[in-house]
Amino acid sequence: MKIKHRQRWFFCILAAIFLLVSLPVWGAADGFVTGSVVNVRSGAGTSYSIIAKVEAGQRLELLERSGDWQKVSLHTGQAGWMHVDYIQAKEVVKKVIVKGNVVNLRTGPGTGYAKADQVSSGTSLSVYQEKDDWYQVYVNGPGLCWIAGWLVEDAVSSTSYIVVKTEVLNVRSGPGTNYSLATKIGMNEKHAVIQEDNGWYKIAIGSVQGWVSGDYVDVIRPDGQTVVAPNPPATGGESEGNASEPSNKTVVVNGGVVNVRSAGSLNAQVVAKVYAGDRLTVTGQQGDWYQVTLANGTKGWVANWLTNPEGTLSIPQDNSTVENDVLIAPITDGKVFKIVNDRGRAVLVLEGWNTDEYRIRQDSGTENTLILEMDGACERNYTGKVTNLGITEVSIKPVSGKGQIRLTFTFPPATAVVYDTTNKVARIQVSTGTAQTKELTGKTIVVDPGHASVQPGGWLDPGAIGKRLGLKEKDVNLSVSLKLKTLLENAGARVVMTHTGSTNLSLAGRANVANSINADIFVSVHANYNNNSSIAGHSVYYYAPSSNQVLASQRYSRQKLATMVQREMVKTGGRSDLGTKESNFAVLRETRVPSILVETAFLSNGIEEAMLASDAFRQKLAEGISNGIVAYFK
């Protein structure tokens, strides 16, 4: 795309104006005119003279406020007063700098929207909203419009900013807990620091200003140095935690392998690991995190959504698939049956039985069936499966006055029983055999088919649209993702999809699917687009900036995952190798586990669009991605 010299000049001047005059401090808010034509006056009242008129959508820098009147600075540098009814404040989410040569601005968040204007490399823009990798920005002329997130980079802030390290944090009207509550902010929110006072930081949230305690935030200095939040106290303080939990409550781990961390946050250091079925003593709670003491005396924090309270063990609904790699079923009073995922191997756990109260046998008619017969009535019926442990059917039911649990395996089960006499617990290790030693056994992978987010009005964000055939990116992404899911499951992985057709999740919400289950990796599947239709090939994106501690600590993993998937996708897909790239995509930034965004091929390239339309090529792409994931875990 070419641009005339005069236009280029204009954009340089525009860029200069932005930098010098109209950009507010990152984290503050800008005003936007809401009335059609609004007077700007020399003072705070209608009796003052009119010094300028502004139009709907025009941006204003917000200065001081007096009653219902707001002092503003216009893009001309002129300052005056306007009635607050005609101003809408929008928070500046972040500042970015344009990195593409000349970049199109569009009327909506996607290449399908009309072109609004262009900006040139180096232009600094304030971002007011983020949607599907697109940023809402403002330029004089078209006003609010959208720019592709991959054509800009984060501007380095000239001020320090804080990153919230607890679930919910109080923002107060002054620097101390004795000041009134102004508002609350949440985990990982970032805000520019306006002022510091004795360990407290003044920030702006929209039009509200307030103070937060340094005990619950990381402070990122302009030079990139981070002042890390001390471990939050277990209870009380400024964080929303509470001490209401009884001190000797016991919970049972329900995730396969669960990290115990030094503090109540997914960012905190891992100090130990616990396994499904382990009992933990809860000594405190903060937000969604339990402070626990392990049997060996180690103290730490676990996510409470990866535990079940003891005594309220739940049996899944009939015919449901087990969610957390573990089935817990109360059979009769004081007697519990569990299937536990012990690092990819099935372990059957009987709690509360004497050795003479249960029998294990294999059904003579069916080689791959294991039956546990128990004395005593069975209280509930259940049928389900634990696919990734090779158990294709679990049925629990009463048979002639006794309880019977029948399990059908994809492999001939052999058992090794360990019985703990004191606690009356039998652990039955079901021999894994060859069928169970798969490459991805025990791995949890979140697959995110890009786009297909439900939009206001009910339509779905299609993503890019093919230049020749009009192929919708969302359809290609879903098709490749479903094929990928099958391949990964065949390799033994547990796959969780962010959606299978449409979703109301935000991009951060998609990332959270992986965060909330502590998945091993997150893979977002997309198809690429470029205005230059000759550009074609495969590429994979990752993100691990040094400014983000969690992501930076995963730099090796994220880069390795991207590299392996790119390498294998090039092998099976056979298109040009455009390499791996680092970019600040929302799903990569918001995931707290290693993540990649795969750009399979280009919908803007005629040849590749035709290939993307074929089932065979989609299968090849899925195979490449799957092979890359297997290589990553090796």
The footprint of Zn ion (CB under 5 A) covers 450, 463, 526
CB 599 within 8 A of CB 585: no
Q: Which is nearer to Zn ion, 480 or 561 (CB)?
A: 480
Q: Please classify residue 329 by burial: count the beta carbons closer than 10 Å to its beta carbon, then call 0-12 exposed, 13-18 middle and 19+ buried.
A: buried
Write out the two tokens for 138: 């403002």
Q: Which residue is nearest to Zn ion (CB)?
A: 526
Instruction: Give Cβ neighbours of residue 526 (< 8 Å, ≥ 6 apart).
Output: 450, 451, 463, 473, 477, 597, 598, 599, 600
Instruction: Give, as one character, the DSSP assignment of residue 413.
Output: -
Q: Which is nearer to Zn ion, 94 or 526 (CB)?
A: 526
| Minimum gap (Å) between residue 526 Cβ and Zn ion | 4
Q: Which is nearer to Zn ion, 450 or 594 (CB)?
A: 450
3-class state of residue 173 by DSSP: coil
| Minimum gap (Å) between residue 132 Cβ and Zn ion | 8
Give the H or E element holding residue 477: helix 473-490
| Minimum gap (Å) between residue 472 Cβ and Zn ion | 11
DSSP 3-state percent helix, strand, coil across the chain (nearest 5): 20, 40, 40
Q: Which is nearer to Zn ion, 349 or 603 (CB)?
A: 603
| Minimum gap (Å) between residue 279 Cβ and Zn ion | 45
Give the H or E element holding residue 487: helix 473-490
CB 301 within 8 A of CB 263: yes
Q: Which is nearer to Zn ion, 301 or 529 (CB)?
A: 529
Instruction: Give, as one character, the DSSP assignment of residue 18.
Output: I
| Minimum gap (Å) between residue 587 Cβ and Zn ion | 10
| Minimum gap (Å) between residue 451 Cβ and Zn ion | 6
Please report the DSSP string for 184-238 in residue order: EEETT-EEE--EEETTEEEEEETTEEEEEEGGGEEEE-TTS-EEPPPPPPSSSTT
Q: Which is nearer to Zn ion, 526 or 589 (CB)?
A: 526
Q: Which is nearer to Zn ion, 241 or 463 (CB)?
A: 463
| Minimum gap (Å) between residue 143 Cβ and Zn ion | 26
Q: Which is nearer to Zn ion, 100 or 237 (CB)?
A: 100
Instruction: Give, as one character, the DSSP assignment of residue 388.
Output: G
Write out the two tokens for 46: 């209608």
- Per the document, the length of the chain is 634
| Minimum gap (Å) between residue 527 Cβ and Zn ion | 6
